[in-house]
Amino acid sequence: MDGALLALHNIHTYYGESHVLHGVSLTVGPGEAVALLGRNGAGKTTTIRTIIGFTPAREGTVRFRGQDVTRLAPHHIARLGVGLVPQGRRIFPDLTVIENLRLGERPQPGGWTLEKVFDYFPQLRARARLRGSALSGGEQQMLAIGRALMTNPVLLLMDEPSEGLSPLLVREIGRIISELKRERLAILLVEQNLPFALNVADRVYVMNKGQIVFSGTPAALAADEAVKHQFLGV
């Protein structure tokens, strides 16, 4: 995609000698929500780890805002404008909601502030002085999203945000993602929940055994019974 905000080209990533990603290429445009789907072990989280620099690619390039970030350290990539909502939330249970939110705070004129995050997540405002361990699973997911927003990213990486949540809370997370799209925030969403992903994404990729096996619109994937059956177990 010309003018892509994020572009992965022919990425090969390893854990030790284990070859996990095999020539992965994908793009995310400015203000676009893209879903990366696949079964457990398909390589989705490894793709996120490669982008953010936790597990750098051995071959291929990761470009963000036109800059080659393939070998940059994670904190440098974050400073360029990449926010991460990790799988399992990974909030700090002994810190309060406010302390969790302020951890990665990078103020910008007109950007995300504590007050703006609380406007998006009224539940967090009501629990601002509570420790992270006192929050429900859904509230912890909101806190993880809010913490990433406080870094004022232009691209948000979300790894399984619906995992372990009730259908009501999954709908709430979907509403939040739709709101963030209206803020022109680009999102790369790793998911196993197919209906949720198809509802919020502008484009989708399907991954299997470390390779992209489908790329297209949510409508095209919804209509492709063979891909859904073979690679998503639907």
For residues 172-191, give the mean pLDDT: 90
Q: For residue 12, what pLDDT is reported?
A: 97
* Interval 165-181: pLDDT, tens: 888 888 888 888 898 98
Instruction: Note the pTM of the prediction, 2 decimals.
Output: 0.92
- Residue 1 reports pLDDT greater than 60: no
* Interval 112-167: pLDDT, tens: 999 999 998 998 999 899 898 888 888 898 899 999 999 999 999 999 888 888 88
Q: Among 202, 198, 224, 220, which Cα is nearest to 37's?
A: 198
Instruction: List the beta strands (DSSP E) in 77-185.
Output: 82-85, 155-159
Sign of the CA dihedral with 27 first, then 30, 32, and 36 last: positive
For residues 206-221, give the mean pLDDT: 96
* Interval 70-94: pLDDT, tens: 999 999 999 999 999 988 778 888 9
Domains and CATH numbers, the chain: 1-81+155-167+184-234 (3.40.50.300), 86-153 (no CATH)
Cβ proximity of 37 and 232 under 8 Å: yes
Question: How far is the C-alpha of 66 from the C-alpha of 117, rounded, in Å?
Answer: 29
Cβ proximity of 91 and 143 under 8 Å: yes
Torsion of Cα atoms, 126 then 132 then 137 then 138, to 10°: 40
Sign of the CA dihedral with 228 first, then 87, 146, and 56 last: negative
Q: For residue 2, what pLDDT is reported?
A: 61
Question: How far is the C-alpha of 165 from the C-alpha of 163, rounded, in Å?
Answer: 6
Cβ proximity of 227 and 220 under 8 Å: no
* Interval 35-79: pLDDT, tens: 999 998 999 999 999 999 999 999 999 999 999 999 999 999 999
The backbone torsions φ and ψ at residue 147, rounded to the nearest 5 degrees and listed phi first, read -60, -40
Which of 216 and 87 is assigned the larger pLDDT?
216
